[in-house]
Amino acid sequence: AAAQRGAPAQSYAVELTASNWHVTDKGSWLIRLDARHCAACKALQPAVERVAQTFNTNAKYGVIVGSVDTDRQPALVDQVCTRNDCPELIFMHKGRIVRKDISTGRPSADEIAQWAVRLEQAIRQGGSATLAAIDAQNRAQGYGAAARGGGGGGKQDMNNLLQQVLGGTGGARGGQQQQPAAAARG
């Protein structure tokens, strides 16, 4: 069968729908929300697909890459997002939204991977204390799902937490990146 126009021949990202969303309750996930009509989504797709190919074929990163087609999954988007901004990258850990990023630029695959790896490292090193701090900051700011009792997080908040937990510069994009430690998913 012919591939859909604009779709990759093979996608490494896990297609997430309302019926399989529960899989995000385990482990860490980098999820791309996009729409077929969105030019910025199409521009970001190759970089995210390269990250998916790397992460989803190598457990050492501890992050699974998924995607949600916002046109086909409007109820799921309403459940997960406070607004439908595409393209959007969401980092989740055990069903909690840790960080959202509206991709207004064109981050490279390396920048996206570094962002996800740093978040994963912060959670692994800081554990539930990191998640509790993220949740508390998000509720205080009324950001995202935190306002409804879930996760979320502003860029500066996450960078501050990264500085505290990792002792680094906190910049999720740019700067030096440590090699990810081998870690089992869970």
* pLDDT per residue as tens, the chain (186 positions): 444 555 545 789 999 999 999 999 999 999 999 888 888 888 899 999 999 999 999 988 899 999 999 999 988 888 776 555 678 888 999 998 888 776 666 888 998 998 898 888 888 888 766 667 766 665 565 444 443 343 344 444 444 544 544 444 333 333 333 333 233 333
Between the CA of residue 178 and those of 30, 42, 56, 125, 181, what are the distances in Å?
A: 19, 29, 20, 14, 9
* CATH code for the domain defined by 14-166: 3.40.30.10
- Kindly report the backbone phi and psi dihedral angles of residue 83, in degrees, each rounded to the nearest multiple of 5, phi listed first: -150, 160
**Residue of 156, 176, 157 whose CA lies nearest to 168:** 176
Q: Are 138 and 82 in contact (CB under 8 A)?
A: no
**Residue of 174, 168, 133, 175 whose CA lies nearest to 154:** 133
**Can you give the pTM of this predicted structure?**
0.67
Q: Token pair for residue 149?
A: 């009792």
Between the CA of residue 48 and those of 32, 149, 151, 164, what are the distances in Å?
A: 8, 29, 22, 28
CA 166 to chain centre: 19
- Domain map of the chain by residue range? 14-166
